[in-house]
Structure 1
Amino acid sequence: MIIIEFKAYGKKHQYQAIDEAIRTVRFIRNSCIRLWMDNKGTGKYDLSKYCKVLAKQFSFANELNSTARQAAAERAWSSIARFYDNCQKKVPGKKGFPKFQKHCRSVEYKQSGWKLSPDNKSIIFSDKKGIGKLKLKGKWHVWRFDKKQIKRVRIVRRADGYYVQFCVSVEINEKLKPTGNTVGLDVGLKNFYTDSDGNVEPNPRFYRTGEKRLKFYQRRFFRKKKGSSNRSKAINKLGRAHLKISRQREEHAKRLARCVIQSNDLVAYEDLRVKNLVKNHCLAKSINDAGWYQFRKWLEHFGTKFGRSTVAVNPAYTSQNCSQCSEVVKKSLSTRTHTCKCGCQLDRDHNAAINILERALSTAGHVGTWIIDPNACGDLASTVLGSDQVEQAGSMKQESPRL
């Protein structure tokens, strides 16, 4: 399954129609959440049936395509199912009880309500919202795929305009020649990562670099009168600045992950719980700015695509244990050099990267993502990304909270 994205161009009334469709999606999703709250035992199919009831009661809901209404109900059920899953797993802390959505940025169609134009440069939305024909600009040619392979079409609103995304059911697998190399990665704040060979990748710190400009736009935003057009323009400027930083961070993580995967047969990295790490208010901004989650996500994606082994290792004591004699050498975070009585003297991160690789080599030959716990016994079990790892905390917004 791949996502192909195009920039969409239209007229002002078409953009207003897209905004109205997005508001309708938010209304249906929140109505389904309310139905679930008020009626015990409400299931996924009950929410899907409720969409038809909403369409009969409200004319603006009836104007939206039926598959788009069903997709909105599926969004509601996904938040409910996640809450049930967290309760069943007994996740510590808040379980993520479904909340009413205040801001929504996309509307999703299934395999009806749209069609590609014959000129291969635009898409036509045929529901009663009046979106009509949108011109598309992008590099991928979605028209080379069969229409049956396009499972979803989504219109996304961002600070710099509107985008159309196509979810295409196709598998892309590329086989690379074995390199005979293995590497362990230790991510950090001073350097983005240090590998087991001693190579260092600097941390670009995109948010820190653009923070001065962000504060400038924030001051301009708060000085404008509420409800004025100037305030809306200031919000858009702020959103564009946040969007640029998020794209820089994502592209940086993607580029590095691709290079690492293509150069090594096995890549080992730390199984970090970013949600717990950002509880340290002194380091939270720097941790979010580093983008460790994005880096891991792309490592696993390219590992699957190119048939490479990716191994997630429990990071416990990787910095304290000596990579030569396995002796525990306790050190604080301020101590950046590992010095052992056996004569081993390495950079702290380099020593940790070697330990990470050594723990991962026990699973050499397995393709996929594995979590290695040195204190556990028995067979190893694979894990899907997102099953027990939580994404980065939301304090570092990828985009402006409002558009």
Structure 2
Amino acid sequence: MLVLEYKAVVNKKQTTSIEEAIRTTQFIRNKAIRFWMDALLKSKINKIALNNYSTALRKEFVFVEELNSMACQSATERAWTAISRFYDNCKKGKQGNKGYPRFQHDNRSIEYKTCGWALHPTKRRITFTDKKGIGEIKLLGKWDIHTYPLKSIKRVRIVKRADGFYVQFCLDIEVSLEPRISDGEIGLDVGLEHFYSDSNGHHEPNPRFLRKAEKSIKHAQRQIYRKEKGKKQRRIARARYARKHLKVSRQRNEHSKRLGRCVCKANALVAYENLNVKGLVKNHCLAKSINDVGWALFRQWIEHFATKFGTVIVAVPPQYTSQKCSTCGAIVKKSLSVRTHVCKCGCVLERDHNASINILNIGKQTTVGQTGSNATGLATSTLLGETLVEQVTRVNVESPSSR
């Protein structure tokens, strides 16, 4: 599955129509959740029942009928994704919050299937043919969608972001493997001082995108409260504040994408820490720094490019990787403030370097007798493995430079 994204050029009338279509999608999704809640004790609701319910909503509400029928089905599929995830978590006995479906208040996308839209022969314009009045939209981007057959386009999304609207095309094509430049083996120890330290002794600097932009972001936030509520200047200030956060998010994503690609392209085996990021961010002293560095995002891109380059990846438990000596295996207890590993056997290494070597050694032991892109035997959370509905709220698109 490949997702190609274009910037959409829209006027004020089209902006109003797109926002109305997005609100309609949110309405259908929330009504489907309510329908499931009301019928929970009476009968069992499945995906087909929710799709049939979207047809009933089209008969009941005029503004729902104006939306394309398959777009309505996509909205109920979003509801079913939340419901099925809740059921799966209950069956697996997940600890803590099981993810009970909630009503959505900030939907920012609408998804069409194989109808409700038509591409211009040049494939640089797209026309939405339902009754919402979106009409023809000009597409800006460097993607070569004209090289793909029209039948391979399975979904078309309109996504609203702080800097405008984007049109995404979901293509059902097989992504072929690419050759690696070498077949090395590497262990990665992520941290806050360095983005990661590998088993070769390299320390990748931590870019700290949020910290660098924090002063500008706080200034933009103060400007919001200086404007009167309900006025145009306040909306402009809020949009400016949102664009600054969007820029930081894109910088973090591109940085993780670039490093993940380089790591997988140069190595046949990549071992990394299987960190519980959700648990770590509960530490209010380090939560901002942990979220800024983006460990989970880096892991997702490693898993994505591992599939592309045929790299074996191993998620290693982080317990004792910093305390254990990589030479003799002895446990050398040290606090977080101690940054140098010194062992009685004579091994003197930087703390993170020693941990990365231990991670690589454990990864090698795990891969003995196993094959595949995920040596742990667990299903990886790669971007290619996600369903189209699951990607609506979190779309990661490869840039032309990383294809």
Q: Structure 1 length normalisation: TM-score?
A: 0.92
Q: In the alignment, what sits opposite 1:321?
A: 324
Q: In the alignment, is the contact (CA less than 8 A) between 1:368 and 1:382 conserved in 2?
A: no
Offset, 1:180:
3.4
Offset, 1:286:
0.4
Size of the alignment, in residue pairs? Answer: 381
CA distance in 2, matches of 1:25, 1:139: 29
CA distance in 1, matches of 2:225, 2:156: 36
CA distance in 1, matches of 2:23, 2:5: 22
SS at match of 1:67: helix
Offset, 1:178:
6.4
CA distance in 1, matches of 2:119, 2:167: 12
SS at match of 2:33: helix
Q: Extract unaligned runs of 5+ from structure 1.
A: 372-380, 388-396, 399-403
Among 176, 179, 187, the residue aligned to 1:176: 179
Q: In the alignment, what sits opposite 2:78?
A: 75
CA distance in 1, matches of 2:199, 2:65: 59
Show CA shifts across 1:314-339 (max 9, x none).
Answer: 11110111001111111111111111
CA distance in 2, matches of 1:189, 1:163: 33
Offset, 1:366:
2.4
Q: In the alignment, what sits opposite 1:123?
A: 126
Offset, 1:84:
1.0
Offset, 1:262:
1.2
Q: In the alignment, is the contact (CA less than 8 A) between 1:322 and 1:328 conserved in 2?
A: yes
SS at match of 2:375: strand
The residue type equivalent to 1:290 in the other structure is V
Q: In the alignment, what sits opposite 2:206?
A: 203
SS at match of 1:6: strand
Q: In the alignment, is the contact (CA less than 8 A) between 2:268 and 2:312 conserved in 1?
A: yes
CA distance in 1, matches of 2:99, 2:302: 27
CA distance in 1, matches of 2:312, 2:65: 49
Q: In the alignment, what sits opposite 2:378?
A: 382
Q: In the alignment, is the contact (CA less than 8 A) between 1:313 and 1:370 conserved in 2?
A: no
CA distance in 2, matches of 1:221, 1:95: 36
Q: How does 1:175-324 map to 2 (within 5 A)?
A: 175-177=178-180, 179-324=182-327
CA distance in 1, matches of 2:117, 2:179: 38
Show CA shifts across 1:53-110 (max 9, x none).
Answer: 1111110000000000000000011111111111111111111111111111000000
The residue type equivalent to 1:183 in the other structure is I
Q: Tell me, yes or no, if structure 1 residue 165 matches structure 2 residue 165.
A: no
Q: In the alignment, is the contact (CA less than 8 A) between 2:181 and 2:265 conserved in 1?
A: no
Q: In the alignment, what sits opposite 1:366?
A: 371
Q: In the alignment, what sits opposite 1:22?
A: 22
CA distance in 2, matches of 1:357, 1:247: 30
SS at match of 2:204: strand
Q: In the alignment, is the contact (CA less than 8 A) between 1:370 and 1:383 conserved in 2?
A: no
Identity %: 55
Among 40, 55, 62, the residue aligned to 2:65: 62
